[in-house]
Structure 1
Amino acid sequence: MEEKYLKAITTENNIYRELQQEVQVPATTNTGWKELDEALDWLCMGAEKILDFGCGNGSMLFHCALRGTKEHLGIDLAEEGIRLARLRAEKMPAGNYRFLEGSSEALSGEPDSSVDSVILSNILDNLYPEDAETVLNEVNRLLRPGGKLMVKLNPFLAEEQITEWGIRKIREDLLDDGLILWNRSTEAWQEYLKHWFSAESYAEMWIPEAEQVNRIFCLRKK
Structure 2
Amino acid sequence: MFVLVPHTDPKSPAIPVRTGHEGDDRADAGVYINSYFETRLSHDENRSKVWKHLCEYLSRWIAPDADVLELGAGWCDFANHVRARRVVAMDLDATVERAAASHVTPVVGDCTDLSAFEDGSFDVVFASNLLEHLVRPDASRLLGEARRVLRPGGRLMLLQPNFRLNPGRYFDDFTHVSIFTDQSLHDYLVSEGFTVEKVMPRFLPLTMKSRGSKLTFLVPWYLRSPVKPLAGQMLLVAAR
Tell me if TM exceeds 0.5.
yes
- The equivalent of 1:140 in structure 2 is 147
Q: CA deviation at 1:118?
A: 0.7
Q: CA deviation at 1:104?
A: 2.8
Distance 1:25 1:185, change over 3 A: closer
- The equivalent of 1:30 in structure 2 is 52
Q: Provide the rounded CA distance (Å) in 1 between the counterparts of 2:162 and 2:50.
A: 27
- The equivalent of 2:73 in structure 1 is 55
Segments of 5+ residues of structure 2 without an aligned counterpart are: 4-20, 22-28, 210-229
Q: Which has the higher strand share?
A: 1
- Is residue 71–residue 127 contact of structure 2 (8 Å, CA) maintained in 1? yes
- The equivalent of 1:10 in structure 2 is 34
Runs of 4+ in structure 1 deviating by more than 6 angstroms, as ranges, are none
Amino acid at match of 2:63: M
Q: Deviations over 1:31-71 (max 9, x none)?
A: 2x5xx643x2133125421000101111101221xx3x121
Pairing 1:103-122 to 2, within 5 Å after superposition: 103-104=110-111, 106-122=113-129
Q: Which has the higher helix share?
A: 1
The reply on whether 1:82 has 2:96 as its aligned counterpart is: yes
Amino acid at match of 1:97: V
The reply on whether 1:218 has 2:237 as its aligned counterpart is: yes
Identity rate, percent: 22
Q: Provide the rounded CA distance (Å) in 2 between the counterparts of 1:143 and 1:77.
A: 21
Amino acid at match of 2:195: S
TM-score between both structures, scaled by the size of structure 1: 0.71
- Is residue 128–residue 180 contact of structure 1 (8 Å, CA) maintained in 2? no
Q: Deviations over 1:123-152 (max 9, x none)?
A: 012211111100000000000000011111
Of 191, 196, 200, which aligns to 2:197? 200
Q: Provide the rounded CA distance (Å) in 1 between the counterparts of 2:148 and 2:88.
A: 15
Distance 1:205 1:161, change over 3 A: closer
Distance 1:17 1:26, change over 3 A: closer
Distance 1:186 1:177, change over 3 A: same
Q: Provide the rounded CA distance (Å) in 1 between the counterparts of 2:138 and 2:179.
A: 15
**Backbone CA RMSD of aligned residues:** 3.5
Q: CA deviation at 1:217?
A: 0.2
Q: Provide the rounded CA distance (Å) in 2 between the counterparts of 1:17 and 1:84.
A: 15
Q: Provide the rounded CA distance (Å) in 2 between the counterparts of 1:129 and 1:17.
A: 23
Segments of 5+ residues of structure 1 without an aligned counterpart are: 91-95, 168-174
Q: Deviations over 1:159-206 (max 9, x none)?
A: x955xx7x8xxxxxxx68511231133211111101321111111223
